[in-house]
Amino acid sequence: MKAYPPAKVRNVALVGHGGAGKTTLCEALALCAGAISRAGRVEDGSTLSDFEPEEHSHHMSTSAALVALEWRGHKVNVIDCPGYADFVAEALGALSVADLVVVVLSAVDGVEVQTEAMWKAASQLGLPRLVFVNKLDRERADFSRALDQLRSTFGAGVAPLELPIGEEQDLHGVADLLSGTAFSYEPGQAQGRPGPVPEAIADREHAVRDSLVEGIVVADDDLMGRYLEGEAVPTEELSKTLARGVTSSQVFPVVCGSATKLVGIDRLLDFICDVGPSPLDRPPAVVRAPTDDGAGEPVEVACDPAGQPLARVWKTVADPYVGKISLFKVLSGTVRPDLVLFNPRSKVDERLHALFSLRGKEQLQVPEVPAGDIGAVAKLAATGTGDTLAPKTTPVSVLPPAGWEALAEATAPVLSVAIRPKSKADEDKLMTALHRLQEEDPTLAVARNDETHQTVLSGAGETHLAIAMERLARKFGVAVEQEDLVIPYRETVTATAEAEGKYKKQTGGHGQFGVASLRVEPMERGAGFEFVDNIVGGVIPRQYIPAVQKGAEEAMAEGGVYGWPVVDVRVTCFDGKHHPVDSSELSFKMAGALAVREALAKAGPVVLEPLSLLEVTVPNAYQGDVMGDLNSRRGRVQRTETAGPGESVVIALVPTAELVRYAIDLRSLTGGRGRFKARHDHYEVMPQNLWDKVRRERASADK
C-alpha cells in the first residue's frame, strides 16, 4: 500500500451497540473498496476484523481492529470497535486516534445503551459524528422511527442525507437528498446505479431536502442570503458547507443502507471521503516536554509531514508468532523504516524496523507513514499503549485530549476474580504471562494478595475476564482456573481478659524458660495495636520485653480464634517469671504468643468485615431501584447528589462481601446505564449469624 498525504487520509471509528452490524459493515466496506473479493460472515468467523479465536467462539468483537482501505484517491483507516460494554476501553482507544466517528445504528433496535455511551464519549472528545442506519433489509426495520429516536436522543443537529428506497426485504436503493439522485443496487453489486428519485418517495424527498438545506445554509451567512432570495444553491457548495458543519461537530449527517445487501455502502465511503474531516481539519496534537523543575508548558504540534517525527502508540497486540505489534498514529513528520525514536516514559531508544498497515490480521508493507496516518510496527521492546515516540533531541510526551480523564476513569476495573494455575508449569509462567496480557489490554489489573494468598484478576465484567483467561491459555500457554474471592476479614475483642503464657523446654545443656502474663482489651475501631509494659520489680528482665511484644504481634497477625488477623487491641504485659540461665528472647517470644492466643479466646472475639464507600451514578429513573438494592445488601445510603443532566449519584457504605458481583447486578438492574466506583472505608463488627453462614458456605466449598 502506498503512502498518502494527510489531506487524503480518513481515520474512521465504527462504534455502536453490540449487534448493530459494525463488523459486517466493515466487511462490506472492504468488499466495496476491492480489498477483498468475497465478504466473510460473523457467524462463520471469516470476517477481516474479527480474527481472534475468542471472537469466533463468542460471535462478538472483543478488540478494536484496523482495516486499511483505498477509495477514490483516499486511504481510509477503518477501526471496527467492540459494541459490548465489557470492551468499551477498546472503543475509547480507537476514538483517541479517529478523526470521524461513524455511529452504526440498527434500524430494527434503534438507539441502545452503547449507542448513547459512545455518542457521549465522542461528544466529550469533540469528535465529528456520522450515523449509518443499518439493517434496513430486516423485518421490522423502520428508518423513520430510527431517525426520530436519533433526534429525540441526540438533538436537532441530526440531519438525514439519504432516504431508503424500498422497505425490509424490498430494500434496493437510497435517495441522495443533496443531489436529488437515487441509487439503485442489483443483488450482490456494491456499486449503485444513479437515476431519478422514484415517484413513490418524491414528495417526502422534497420535504426532507428542504429541511436539510435550511439546516446547512444557516452555517454560512452568504449562502443563507442567497437561499432566502430564492437562488438554487449548487450541490457542491452545500457539500462544502456541510463538511464544515460536520468538522465543527454541529451537524451529524445520517445515511442509510444494508451491510448484508451492500446497499448504500459505496455512498458511505463517498461521504467519509467528501464530508468527513482529514487529520488536517482536526485540532493539532498537544505535547509537553520534561524540564528540570517538572513538566514544561503545553505546545501544539501541527500535522505536517515535513516536521519532526512524532507518534503515539494507541494499541498493542500480543502476537504469539510475530511478538508484540504496536499500532501508532503519526502526529507530525514522516516515519520511515529503521527510524530511531525515543520513548520518554521508558527512557529507551526504539528502532522502528519494517513498517506496515493492517487489514485485519493481514500486514501490508508501506514505504513510510506520513503525519495523520496510522501504521504498525513489530517488536518495540519498551513501548506500551499510550506511549509517545519522539526524537531524542526533543523528548516530548503527547497529552491526552480534553475530556479523556473522565472517560478513562469509566474503564477502571469493577469486577475481580481469583485465579490459580492448574499445574506447577503454569504457576512458573503465570505472572510473566499476565504481564504480557496487560500490555495488550491495560484495563486488566493483576494483584497478588499476600494475606489471602490469591492472585486477583480484575476487569470490566464477566465476559472480559473470561476472554482474558482464554487468551492467557491460547497465547501464552498458561491454564488457570477460577476460585471464590476471599474477603479479608479481621478479628477484634469485645471484653478484657488475662492469660499466662508459659514456655518451658528442657533438653541437654541450657533449656528454655519464660513466663509472661498478658491482658488484652478492646480499643477504638481503627486504632490498630498498642503494647503496654507494666512490668515492675524485674520479674521479666528489660531485654526480654521486646520479645514478648514481638510474640504477641506475630500471634495476632497469624490469626485469632476465627483465623483472621487481630486488630484494635491493647496488650498489657503485667507479670511474668524468668530463669537466670534458661531464659532467652525465644522463650519469652513463645510465652507472649501463647498468652495472647489464650487471652483472645476468652475476650469475646468477634469478626470484623470490611465496608466500602460506594458511589453509584445512574439515570434518575433508576435511583429508587438502586437504593432498594443497596438496602438489600445491608448498605447504608449516606446521601444522594446530582451528577449531570438526568443523572444522580448515590453514595453508600456497603459490606465489601456484598459487592463481589455488583458490576454484573448493576448492569442488569439499570440496563447497562449505571456505573460505580468503590474504595475500602473501614471495618465493622459482622453479625454472628452472618459469619456462621459464611463459615458454612466456605466449609461446603472446601468439601
Domains in the chain, CATH or no CATH each: 8-281 (3.40.50.300), 300-406 (2.40.30.10), 412-483 (3.30.70.870), 490-603 (3.30.230.10), 608-702 (3.30.70.240)
Q: Is the pLDDT of residue 260 over 80?
A: yes
505: nearest Cα among 564, 446, 586, 430:
586
Query: Each residue of 122-133: pLDDT tens digit?
Result: 999 999 999 999
CB contact at 8 A, 413 and 448: no
Backbone torsion region of residue 538, taken as left when φ is above 0, otherwise alpha when ψ lies between -120 and 50, otherwise beta: left
Query: Looking at residue 229, what is its pLDDT?
Result: 80
Query: Each residue of 324-334: pLDDT tens digit?
Result: 899 999 999 99
What is d(CA 571, CA 560) in angstroms, rounded to the nearest whole number? Answer: 14
Query: Looking at residue 484, what is its pLDDT?
Result: 85
What is d(CA 99, CA 12) in angstroms, rounded to the nearest whole number? Answer: 6
Q: Is the pLDDT of residue 206 over 90?
A: no
Query: Looking at residue 451, what is its pLDDT?
Result: 85
- Name the residue with cell 518451658: 504
pTM above 0.95, yes or no: no
Spatial neighbors of 572 by CB under 8 A, at least 6 apart, are 518, 519, 520, 521, 531, 532, 534
Share of the chain above pLDDT 70, in %: 98
Which of 294-303, 473-482, 532-541 has the lowest average pLDDT?
Answer: 294-303
Whole-Å CA distances, 491 to 593, 600, 685: 16, 10, 9
Q: Is the pLDDT of residue 508 over 80?
A: no
Query: Looking at residue 684, what is its pLDDT?
Result: 94
Share of the chain above pLDDT 90, in %: 77
Query: Looking at residue 293, what is its pLDDT?
Result: 62
The residue type found at 2 is K
What is d(CA 317, CA 303) in angstroms, rounded to the nearest whole number? Answer: 26
What is d(CA 606, CA 691) in angstroms, rounded to the nearest whole number? Answer: 9
CA angle 658, 661, 665 (to 5 degrees): 100
Average pLDDT over residues 430-444: 91
Query: Looking at residue 542, what is its pLDDT?
Result: 93
Average pLDDT over residues 28-50: 93
Q: pLDDT tier at 220 (50, 70, 90 boundaries)? A: confident
What is d(CA 23, CA 25) in angstroms, rounded to the nearest whole number? Answer: 5
Query: Looking at residue 409, what is its pLDDT?
Result: 80
What is d(CA 110, CA 141) in angstroms, rounded to the nearest whole number? Answer: 9
> What is the number of alpha carbons within 13 Å of residue 441 lying toward its C-beta?
30
What is d(CA 424, CA 479) in angstroms, rounded to the nearest whole number? Answer: 10
Type and span of the H or E element at 132: strand 129-134
What is d(CA 95, CA 126) in angstroms, rounded to the nearest whole number? Answer: 10
At residue 640, φ and ψ (nearest 5 deg) are -125, 150
Cell of 251: 451537524
The residue type found at 241 is T
Type and span of the H or E element at 576: strand 569-577
Cell of 544: 526480654
Give the pairing type, strands 445-449 and 454-459. Answer: antiparallel
Q: Select, from the ranges 77-81, 180-184, 645-649, 683-687, the one with the highest average predicted confidence (pLDDT).
A: 77-81
CA end-to-end distance (rounded Å), the chain: 61
Query: Each residue of 562-589: pLDDT tens digit?
Result: 989 999 999 999 999 999 888 999 999 9
- According to DSSP, the residues that pair with 398 across neighbouring strands are 287
User: 3-class DSSP state for residue 72?
Assistant: coil
What is d(CA 501, CA 589) in angstroms, rounded to the nearest whole number? Answer: 10
> What average pLDDT does the structure give for the chain?
92
What is d(CA 500, CA 478) in angstroms, rounded to the nearest whole number? Answer: 51
Query: Looking at residue 533, what is its pLDDT?
Result: 94
Average pLDDT over residues 277-306: 87
Query: Each residue of 96-115: pLDDT tens digit?
Result: 999 999 999 999 999 999 99
What is d(CA 316, CA 327) in angstroms, rounded to the nearest whole number? Answer: 6
Q: pLDDT tier at 295 (50, 70, 90 boundaries)? A: low
What is d(CA 163, CA 209) in angstroms, rounded to the nearest whole number? Answer: 10
Q: Is the pLDDT of residue 284 over 80?
A: yes
CB contact at 8 A, 327 and 374: yes
Query: Each residue of 363-391: pLDDT tens digit?
Result: 999 999 999 999 999 999 899 999 999 99
Q: Is the pLDDT of residue 597 over 90?
A: yes
Q: Is the pLDDT of residue 203 over 90?
A: no
Who has greater pLDDT, 136 or 696? 136
Whole-Å CA distances, 335 to 278, 288, 332, 377: 19, 20, 9, 11
Type and span of the H or E element at 30: helix 22-32
Q: pLDDT tier at 497 (50, 70, 90 boundaries)? A: very high
Q: Is the pLDDT of residue 292 over 70?
A: no
Q: pLDDT tier at 622 (50, 70, 90 boundaries)? A: very high
Spatial neighbors of 241 by CB under 8 A, at least 6 apart, are 216, 217, 219, 220, 223
DSSP state of 263: B
